[in-house]
Structure 1
Amino acid sequence: MQFNISKELLTQIEQLIHQKNDQELAVLLNDMHHADIAEIFDELNIEEATYIFRILDSEITAEILPELEEDVREKILQGLSAKEIAEELDELDTDDAADIIAELSQSKKEEVISELEDVEHAKDIVDLLRYSETTAGGLMGKEMVKVNENWNVLTCVKEMRIQAENVTRVHSIYVVDDDGRLKGRLSLKDLLTTSTKTPISEVYIKKVDYVKVDTPNTEVARIMQKYDLEAIPVVDELGRLVGRVTIDDIVDVIKEEADKDYQMAAGITQDVEAGDTVFELIKARLPWLLIGMVIEIVASFVLKNNESAFHKYETLIIFVPLLSATAGNIGVQASAIVVQGLANGSLKEFSQNYFKKELLVAMLSGTIISLFLLVYHSVMYQQYQVGLAISISIIVVILFAAMLGTLVPLFLHKNKIDPAIATGPFITTTNDVFGIILYFGIARMILGF
């Protein structure tokens, strides 16, 4: 059953906090999933959230920390000492612990690391901190099960039992050589059905998908999605096994990329959330609004230069909004499909066949729309030549919008710029200007004004 926060539950929790009834509060929350408790924290004020955090066991609070909204987690950590934070991180997997430490100031970071009780755990966290968060190295965790190719099955099983104590979930068993280089993976079925004296080198599977520490996180997500992997090993520059990326980390990457692309498509230049300050929201939104304003001013000059035609052919101006909206929609649709293809790997670069297909779609769509407009204009205004000019213009503008929407994302992608920029205001405003120029240019040729 899905968890839902009710007003009654929040009221009950707030009353228990006010009464300082720690025992009943702990009983109420201990049976809840840590993700649900994190959701409750987001609804409470920071003093109430911190109060609850202090009364719960560190095993529970450690699991809550990664689930919290970043601003809530930051405020809670500000109220904890370095030793208290270290106690939480000792309970976490290395990847989650490294992510949390990375959010701290440099001085607090050093204090927390020095307070970690498990020295090996601390070393692993420090190692992870040197990788960029947008790479496989920044995503991976150190917890995994690995065996040496020179061991026999019996030794392998004994070592796996020891290693598995520190691993929350065993997705795969990796095989390495004496230098720690990744050689392959081991099937649990083969391990269970093979003689205990059999060397691992005779039974392990040599084919294994892996990524390098500097592989971009989006590429890691694409590989795991393509091959339907729950986890993927990570190797360093020498091919040594240094960690693994699990599916829960990739889900976070996919969500973050989707959020970023959605905001870019809306003309928001940096990652923002509803809880951000007014200044941060304005800073993220204003640039594209200003760019759009400048481009639309250019469009207004085009309209002004064709002002004389409005008196003679007044329906020309009536259909300008329709022209702009249609061109914008066609352009955004075309660019959205290209950006989606680039994101999921189905489209890697310019494809002549796909480009022809997109132009054909635009031509057929434009023809249907233009025919409808021609009939509508002829019935409503009985100006057949003007209706013909408008209809032909619509087809040309739609074709141009489709070309722009297809080619611009591919150009940006080739030049290492996020193509999601091309799915929003850039396409719509650019199509506005060029669409209006084409519209009046074709109308001028046909009507001779």
Structure 2
Amino acid sequence: MQFQISQELVEHICNLIEEGRDDELLLYLEDVHHADIAEIINELELDQATYIIKLLDSTKTSEALMELEEDVRERILDNLSAKEIAEELENMDTDDAADIISELSEERKQEVIGQIIDEEHAEHIVELLRYDEDSAGGLMAKELVKVNENWSVTGCMAEMRAQAENVTRVHSIYVVDDKNKLKGRLSLKDLLTASSKANISDVYIENVDYVNVHTDGEEVARIMRKYDLEAIPVVDEMGRLVGRITVDDIMDFMREEAERDYQMAAGISEDVEADDSILHLTRARLPWLVLALFGGFISVTVLGTFDTAMQEHGALFFFVPLIAAMAGNVGVQSSAIVLQGLANKSLRGSLFNRLIKEVLLSLLNGFALAILLILGGIFFLGLDFWFGLTVSVSLVAVIIIASLIGTFVPIVLDKWGIDPAMATGPFITTSNDIFGILIYFTIAKVILGF
């Protein structure tokens, strides 16, 4: 049965901690999965959460730490000594350990690394910290199973057993030469069916997908998704095998990327959590709100240039929210589709062809909405024909312009090396509000003559 956290369970854990009944607590949590332990810890007070981490064996708590909410983990790490953190890191894969270390201050990093007993493990962690966290080098783990192309099948089996002890899951067996350069991969089936006298060079598969340590994380995700890979090897500039990235690592990376893009699309300029300080949240939200305010001033200025319309055709102003809303909605829809195409590398064809496609799509949607608007305006709002025509033509024009802005702004930003997610949300909405109002009153001035 799936684990379910409840208030009664949390209270029971708290009582065991307060009464110091460690044996009962250990027995109670013995068969609980590390992800469920993390869920329990997230619900506890800091002192209680730290108590659990110190009480349980580090083989279980090291995995639970990686499942904790980031702010909870940071507070717990602040309550642990450098030696206690080092003990947790020694039971983690190197990529997870590097992630934990990166959250510490520079002084604290040195203290913790100095407390790690396994020098090779410490060296691997330090190596991973040198890479950008969103690159293949920053995502990879050093733990893997590799064999030399010159080994015999019999010798290979013995070496693989020794290596596999340090690898949580063996997704692939990689083949290297004497200089550790990646040569290919080894099929377990071919290995088991090969003659014991054969060499690895006789049975390995040369065709293997790999990435460089500096390959962007999104490109790694695209390659793994395209070829349906559970793991992918990572090589350095000289083609030497230095690590591997597994599907769970890339899923975590893509989840974080999606969260960042979602926040940016909503007008939040920094990576924030709901429990962050008011100052941090304000710093993340305020820049885009200032942009929206500035855009509002421009909209007011544009409206001011058509003050005569207020006197002669005051009803025009009742449709301003409708025009602005449609412009914003269409722009966000268009940018969302383009962003998806950019992320998936599926945006193909020339810009001119995409321009024609967007214009035709906008015309179709615009005419459909315009017909509904003019019929509704005449029969339900009692508008005269020319007034209804003015609003309808404006709606079609605004939809076309908003669609083009939503399409091309992300593409241009992407070509300039700027995250195209910035093109959605407040940016598109504000810019389309301004253009929408300007187009609306310009067309009204031409048709109604004021």
TM exceeds 0.5? yes
Equivalent residues of 1:58, 1:91 under 8 A apart: yes
Please state whether the residue corresponding to 1:98 is helix, strand or coil.
helix
What is the alpha-carbon root mean square deviation over aligned residues?
A: 1.3
Spell out, residue by residue over 1:356-395, the C-alpha distance to the aligned partner (whole angstroms, 9 max, x if none): 2222221111001111111122222341111111111110
- Residue in 2 that maps onto 1:132: 132
- Residue in 2 that maps onto 1:228: 228
- Residue in 1 that maps onto 2:188: 188
- Residue in 1 that maps onto 2:407: 406
Report the Cα distance in structure 2 between the residues aligned to 1:441 and 1:290, rounded to whole angstroms.
27
- Residue in 2 that maps onto 1:312: 312
Report the Cα distance in structure 2 between the residues aligned to 1:183 and 1:317, rounded to whole angstroms.
70
Q: TM-score, normalised by structure 2?
A: 0.97
Spell out, residue by residue over 1:224-265, the C-alpha distance to the aligned partner (whole angstroms, 9 max, x if none): 111111100000000000000011111111100110111111
Report the Cα distance in structure 1 between the residues aligned to 2:276 and 2:78, rounded to whole angstroms.
18
Cα drift, residue 155 of structure 1: 1.4
Bigger drift between 256-265 and 347-356 goes to 347-356
Please state whether the residue corresponding to 2:197 is helix, strand or coil.
coil
- Residue in 1 that maps onto 2:449: 448
Whichever residue aligns with residue 415 of structure 2, its letter is K
1:39-54 map, 5 Å: 39-54=39-54
Spell out, residue by residue over 1:114-142, the C-alpha distance to the aligned partner (whole angstroms, 9 max, x if none): 22121221221121111111111111111
- Residue in 2 that maps onto 1:33: 33
- Residue in 2 that maps onto 1:429: 430
Whichever residue aligns with residue 245 of structure 2, its letter is V
Please state whether the residue corresponding to 2:183 is helix, strand or coil.
strand
Structure 1 position 415 matched with structure 2 position 416 = yes
Report the Cα distance in structure 1 between the residues aligned to 2:268 and 2:277, rounded to whole angstroms.
15
Report the Cα distance in structure 1 between the residues aligned to 2:100 and 2:136, rounded to whole angstroms.
17
Runs of 4+ that moved beyond 3 A: 348-355
Report the Cα distance in structure 2 between the residues aligned to 1:100 and 1:154, rounded to whole angstroms.
39
Cα drift, residue 273 of structure 1: 0.7
Please state whether the residue corresponding to 2:35 is helix, strand or coil.
helix
Whichever residue aligns with residue 245 of structure 1, its letter is I
Cα drift, residue 41 of structure 1: 1.0
Cα drift, residue 336 of structure 1: 0.4
Report the Cα distance in structure 2 between the residues aligned to 1:255 and 1:264, rounded to whole angstroms.
14
Whichever residue aligns with residue 187 of structure 2, its letter is S
Equivalent residues of 1:288, 1:425 under 8 A apart: yes
1:62-101 map, 5 Å: 62-101=62-101
Report the Cα distance in structure 1 between the residues aligned to 2:175 and 2:425, rounded to whole angstroms.
47
Structure 1 position 378 matched with structure 2 position 352 = no
Whichever residue aligns with residue 398 of structure 1, its letter is I
Structure 1 position 8 matched with structure 2 position 8 = yes
1:208-227 map, 5 Å: 208-227=208-227
Report the Cα distance in structure 2 between the residues aligned to 1:321 and 1:35, rounded to whole angstroms.
48
- Residue in 1 that maps onto 2:325: 325
How many correspondences in the alignment? 449
Whichever residue aligns with residue 45 of structure 2, its letter is N
Equivalent residues of 1:349, 1:410 under 8 A apart: no
Percent of paired sites with the same residue: 59
Report the Cα distance in structure 1 between the residues aligned to 2:80 and 2:389, rounded to whole angstroms.
73
Equivalent residues of 1:342, 1:348 under 8 A apart: no
Equivalent residues of 1:35, 1:64 under 8 A apart: yes
Report the Cα distance in structure 2 between the residues aligned to 1:41 and 1:351, rounded to whole angstroms.
52
Equivalent residues of 1:313, 1:386 under 8 A apart: no
Cα drift, residue 354 of structure 1: 3.5
- Residue in 1 that maps onto 2:260: 260
1:340-379 map, 5 Å: 340-347=340-347, 351-379=351-379
Report the Cα distance in structure 2 between the residues aligned to 1:183 and 1:352, rounded to whole angstroms.
43
Equivalent residues of 1:212, 1:235 under 8 A apart: yes
Spell out, residue by residue over 1:403-431, the C-alpha distance to the aligned partner (whole angstroms, 9 max, x if none): 00000000001111111111101001100
1:245-256 map, 5 Å: 245-256=245-256
Cα drift, residue 275 of structure 1: 0.6
Cα drift, residue 348 of structure 1: 5.9
Structure 2 portions without partners, runs of 5+: none
Report the Cα distance in structure 1 between the residues aligned to 2:115 and 2:243, rounded to whole angstroms.
24
